[in-house]
Amino acid sequence: MLPDPTGRNARNREDPPGQRFTDPDRATRIPVRLEPGSLCVMTGPARYAWRHAIAARKSDPGPHGRLPRSRRVSITLRTVLPS
C-alpha cells in the first residue's frame, strides 16, 4: 500500500480531479487538484523524477455526486537540442 500524505488509505479512495504525482523511489503519491482552465507547469523533480498522470475516467467525484468530464487539452513544449 502506498503512503498517503492525507492520512487516508490510498486504495480506498479516489483521487480528486487533477494531476497525480508519484515518487517512484519512495512510493509517495500526491494528488494535485486542477480546476477547469488550469495551467500546470512542471520543472525540476516534478517533471523529471516523479511520474505524473491524470486518471482515465469518464467522471470525477464532486461534492454532490459524480461530475462528468469534458474535453481536456494537453500541450507539451520541449526544448530539442541539436545532436
pLDDT of residue 20 exceeding 50: yes
* Mean pLDDT score, 16-31: 83
* Residue of 64, 70, 55 whose CA lies nearest to 18: 55
Dihedral sign of CA atoms 54, 56, 58, 61 in order: negative
Each residue of 24-83: pLDDT tens digit?
888 888 888 888 788 888 888 888 888 888 888 888 888 888 888 888 888 888 887 887
Q: What is the pLDDT of residue 82?
A: 83
* Residue of 62, 52, 49 whose CA lies nearest to 14: 62
Under a CB-based contact definition with an 8 Å cutoff, are residues 50 and 23 in contact?
A: yes
* Residue of 22, 41, 40, 38 whose CA lies nearest to 30: 22
